A and B are shown apart, each in its own frame.
Chain A
Amino acid sequence: MMAEKQYLLVCGGEGCQSWKAEELFLALHHEAEAQGAKNDVQIIRTGCFGFCEKGPIVKALPSETFYAGAKTEDAKEIISEQVVARREVKRLLYKKETRLAETVRLPEGGAYNKQFRIVLRNCGVIDPENIDEYIAREGYAALEKVLFDMKPEEVVAELKASGLRGRGGAGFPTGMKWDFTRVAPGDVKYVICNADEGDPGAYMDRATIEGDPHSVVEAMAICGYTVGAKKGYVYIRAEYPLAIERLKIAIRQAEERGLLGKDILGSGVDFDLEIRLGAGAFVCGEETALMRSLEGNRGMPVPKPPFPATSGLWKKPTVINNVETFANVPMVILRGGKWFASIGTEKSTGTKVFALTGKINNSGLVEVPMGTTLREIIFDIGGGIRGGRKFKGVQTGGPSGGIITAKDLDSPISYESLTALGSMMGSGGMIVMDEDDCVVDVSKFYMEFCVDESCGKCAPCRIGTNQMHSILERITKGNGEMGDLAKLEKIGQAMTKASLCMLGGSAANPTLSTIRHFREEYEEHIQGHKCRSGSCTALVTYTILADKCIGCGLCARRCPVQCIAGEKKAPHVIDAAKCIKCGECYKCCKFGAVAKA
């Protein structure tokens, strides 16, 4: 019988190329030929594996053996052992770093992957429009277990044991939330799923619903049984048409099979689910505003208490959880609270999904155990900064969060640690910035977002966001005054203390945290009228260096407003009065003759 064919995958990512992956690739080919194993193995290049600092990476299939840091001279042994003798080359195996092991506890089988997927367990695996594939992967097994084998208080106890906390960002313990609603008096109760994902750059919930809608449907039914609610709503923004479509299909399929509706699985328990579309107002992600919107009113927050657990939708006891929180629940029920609590850190258990975007090589969705460091997410999984630029900071928590700088890259991620760093967990947006990003400009962007999205009900948020925005605007225009930073801080603190909801309460965070970490850049804008990254166009001037310009005329052809002139083969000149500072000339010059200042 012919032996099973082997495959060697050699990383062809940019990072590994600098580790001479191509030489290794060729050497492996050469050795396979020399050792007569050419037909037993196929050697191919792949995309980036992550782990770029351990390159080059070689993975052997079907054994899933993972090698790191192999040199060209190791090719001989890899072929003779892995391919011919079918034995691991022990000394080249990737070793899990102790740094990870210290902060993150992982259950057995964590392997080399830095990601660990509970929420996204089915995303990219099953067909989201086919309930059968979900059922084939333990789908609705948790609902079945809960309905027939567990009392509501046992479900709550399991959740409490798991340590699961709200993934919308605030981090309230889910077990407690459900328990408050469970014991609240009243025969009509509701379950709401908050799918009003609004942070710029965040799309974890969209991907979860698009990829695995049944996990949310199942969890909401579990919640309904636990708290005694017969009705649930998914509040989702109309901008997510694909997610809505797949959720509709999921609900219909679950109803057809008796997994939603009357007398679920013959247990006597009823639970119905409806979708309600939001118009995309950021403030409707705030739970009290969301419920007002769901009732048909204008989406504006109301003061708490009373909390939704006792007086929520239509003043009835209500559980309101985020998509990601719900998606964890079936696994907590099936694997047990103890299992879930064994992942992550002591106070922040389980995993967190992040949408990794910005100046990063491998942007995408990542799910990592709590306690993973930012460095691991950005450099190991994310593959580092695009174009080999220098890391400047990472914005977590969107317009409510703050910036975290290079010195804190090794902090393990948890609700507490991010708050201590002046940012917050938030829903999971993670925007990476490099040295070309201007922190003042970024703060202005977030503040503009908050001005647009403030509902206007309370004065601190309505007026404060506007005031802060106009100050930031004038700093980026070069009209800032020295007292501006103190003013920003004062207004920001007032908003934080006095706003009605967290939109205003956290709107100042990006500005305050950038002032804290990058005060000198603000001062450069104000005093020196300079923006070092060149993002604040009003503060940038482009000039052509006569000694370097050879007069090729490329910049003049590229200039969209024709403000560059000059004779052929003679230095050109930019007409500063006409220049719109688009930077095209700077980007296209092959001789470094355009200076930006």
Chain B
Amino acid sequence: MAKLDRAALRRYRDEMEKKYGAGSGSRVRIVVGMGTCGIAAGAREAWEEIKRSVEEFGIQSEVDLTKTGCMGLCQVEPTVEIAVPGMPTVIYSKVTAEVAKRLVRKHIIEKTMVDGHILDRPAIDIVAAGKSARGA
């Protein structure tokens, strides 16, 4: 990729904000916590199961599956965040392969949240809050 100068970085950031920002688009976003703690607790197995289930339902084209680092909730890893358009974004904890399968079927296909695994986000997002404060 070409090296950016100041103006190009700004344009690039605007583009990326649209692509990754909150409420972006109509796609389902699944984010698996894959820090050392998550991986140790079985995040890779959860990832594989989510991938398999998504393919089973044939919804690969509507779903983005990505990873992230440690959210800080090490006790209840693996954690998986799911954003389905039209539903509040939630974080699921202790996502074993079995739970992962259920998340895809219930939360994504049937659009009902799964009992017993949701956790609260530990803190407000200062980046997003900063943006709205500046009216961006």
B-binding residues in A (CB < 8 A) = 4-5, 7, 9, 12, 42, 44-50, 59, 61-62, 108-111, 113, 115-118, 120-130, 132-133, 135-141, 144, 147-148, 203, 206-207, 210-212, 240, 242-243, 246, 256-259, 265-267, 331, 334-335, 361-367, 381
Does A335 lie within 8 Å of B130, measured CB to CB?
A: yes
A118–B72 contact, CB under 8 A?
A: no
Contact A206 B36 (CB under 8 A): yes
What's the nearest-Cβ distance from chain B to residue A430, in Å?
13
Which residues of A sit under 8 angstroms from B5, Cβ to Cβ?
Answer: 258, 265-266
Would A366 and B13 count as touching, CB distance under 8 A? no
Segment of B48-56, B97-105, B112-120 in the binding face: B112-120
CB<8 Å pairs between A and B, sample of 21:
A4-B86, A44-B115, A44-B116, A45-B115, A50-B120, A59-B120, A61-B90, A62-B88, A109-B124, A117-B123, A117-B126, A124-B68, A124-B69, A126-B69, A137-B127, A207-B69, A240-B36, A257-B1, A258-B4, A364-B75, A365-B72
Report which residue of B1, B72, B86, B113 has the largest number of chain A beta carbons within 10 angstroms of its beta carbon: B72
Inter-subunit contact B69/A123 (CB<8 Å): yes
Considering the complex, which residues of chain B in the window 26-45 have a beta carbon less than 8 Å from any beta carbon of chain A?
31, 33, 35-37, 39
Q: Which residues of A contact B3 (CB under 8 A)?
A: 256-258
Interface residues on B, range: 35 or more
Interchain CA distance A127-B35 in the complex, whole Å: 11
Given the complex, which residues of B lie within 8 Å of A124, measured CB to CB?
A: 33, 68-72, 79, 81
Chain A residues with CB under 8 Å of B74's CB are 363-365
Bound complex: CA of A381 vs CA of B90, how far in Å?
A: 19
Complexed CA–CA distance, A475 and B75 (Å): 35
In the assembled complex, the Cα of A150 lies from the Cα of B12 at a distance in Å of 22
> Contact at A138–B130, with CB atoms within 8 Å?
yes
Whether B69 lies near A144 (C-beta < 8 A) is no
Known: A258-B5, A362-B75. A128 touches B68 (CB 8 A): yes
Residue of B whose beta carbon sits closest to that of A64:
B88
Closest to A128 in B: B69
18 further interface pairs, Cβ-Cβ under 8 Å (given A211-B68, A257-B3): A46-B120, A48-B119, A59-B120, A115-B122, A117-B125, A122-B127, A123-B35, A124-B70, A127-B68, A132-B19, A141-B13, A207-B70, A242-B36, A258-B4, A267-B6, A334-B130, A364-B72, A365-B74
A241 to B51, CA, bound (A): 25
Determine if A135 and B13 form an interchain contact, defined as CB atoms under 8 angstroms apart.
Answer: yes
> Of B72, B88, B124, B125, which contacts A110 at CB under 8 A?
B124
Residues of A within 8 A of B116 (CB): 12, 44-47
A256 to B122, CA, bound (A): 34
- A44 contacts across to B, CB distance below 8 A: 113-116, 118
A47 to B115, Cβ gap below 8 A?
A: no
Q: CA of A44 to CA of B87 in the docked complex: distance in angstroms?
A: 14
Task: Check if B21 is an interface residue, CB within 8 A of chain A.
Answer: yes
The reply to whether the CB of B73 lies closer than 8 angstroms to some CB of chain A is yes
A-B pair count, CB < 8 Å, reads 188
The chain B residues found within 8 Å of chain A, CB to CB, are 1-6, 9-10, 12-13, 16-17, 19-21, 31, 33, 35-37, 39, 66-76, 79, 81, 86-88, 90, 93-94, 112-120, 122-127, 129-131, 133
Quick one: which of B9, B31, B70 contacts A365, CB cutoff 8 A?
B70
Residues of B within 8 A of A7 (CB): 88, 113
Q: How far is the CA of A42 from the CA of B84 in the complex (A)?
A: 15
CB distance from B93 to the nearest CB of A (A): 5
> In the complex, what distance in Å separates the CA atom of A122 from the CA atom of B35?
13
Which of A5, A147, A258 interacts with B87 by CB under 8 Å?
A5
Query: In the docked arrangement, what's the CA distance between A109 and B71, Å?
Result: 20
- Asked if residues B16 and A132 are in contact (CB atoms below 8 Å), the reply is yes
Interfacial chain B residues near A125, Cβ < 8 Å? 68, 125, 127
Asked if A113 and B36 sit within 8 Å, CB to CB, the answer is: no
CB distance from A255 to the nearest CB of B (A): 9
B122 to chain A, nearest CB (A): 5
Chain A residues within an 8 Å CB radius of B81: 124
Is the CB–CB distance between A259 and B4 below 8 Å? yes
Residues of B contacting A139 in the complex (Cβ-Cβ under 8 angstroms) = 13
Q: Is the CB of A47 within 8 A of B72?
A: no
Question: Which B residues touch A122, using CB under 8 A?
Answer: 69, 127
- Min C-beta distance of B5 to chain A, whole Å: 4
CB distance from A525 to the nearest CB of B (A): 33
CA distance A402 to B128 in the complex (A): 38
- Give chain A residues whose Cβ lies under 8 Å from the Cβ of B113: 7, 42, 44
Residues of B within 8 A of A266 (CB): 5-6
Q: Which A residue sits closest to B5, measured CB to CB? A: A266
In the complex formed, the residue of B with least CB distance to A355 is B74
B122 touches A126 (CB 8 A): no
Question: Inside 8 A of B122's CB, which chain A residues have their CB?
Answer: 113, 115, 117, 366, 381
Please report the C-alpha to C-alpha distance between residue A128 and residue B39 in the assembled complex, in whole angstroms.
Answer: 15
Beta-carbon contact of B19 and A109 below 8 Å: no
A96 to B: closest C-beta gap in Å = 13
| A47, B124: Cβ atoms closer than 8 Å | no
Q: Separation in Å of the B62 CB from the closest CB of chain A?
A: 19
Residues of B contacting A130 in the complex (Cβ-Cβ under 8 angstroms): 66
Chain B residues with CB under 8 Å of A108's CB are 133
Q: Which residues of A contact B69 (CB under 8 A)?
A: 122-124, 126, 128, 207, 210-212, 246
The answer to whether B17 touches A144 (Cβ under 8 A) is no
Q: A115-B123, A136-B13, A242-B36 are in contact. Are A127 and B73 (CB under 8 A)?
A: no
Report the bound CA distance from A126 to B33 in whole Å. 10
In the A-B complex, the 10 residue pairs with the closest CB atoms: A211-B69, A124-B71, A258-B3, A365-B72, A136-B16, A266-B5, A115-B123, A61-B88, A364-B74, A136-B20
The interface residues of chain B lying within 8 Å CB-to-CB of A257 are 1, 3-4, 9
Complex-state Cα separation, A7 to B87, whole angstroms: 9
Nearest residue, chain A, Cβ from B66: A127
Contacts of A206 on B, CB cut-off 8 Å?
A: 35-36
Q: Quick check: B16 and A133 within 8 Å, CB to CB? A: yes
Q: A118-B126, A121-B127 are in contact. Are A109 and B72 (CB under 8 A)?
A: no
B127 to A, closest residue via Cβ: A137
Closest chain B CB from A276 CB (angstroms): 20
A240 CB to nearest B CB, Å: 8
- Tell me whether A109 and B115 are in contact (CB under 8 A): no
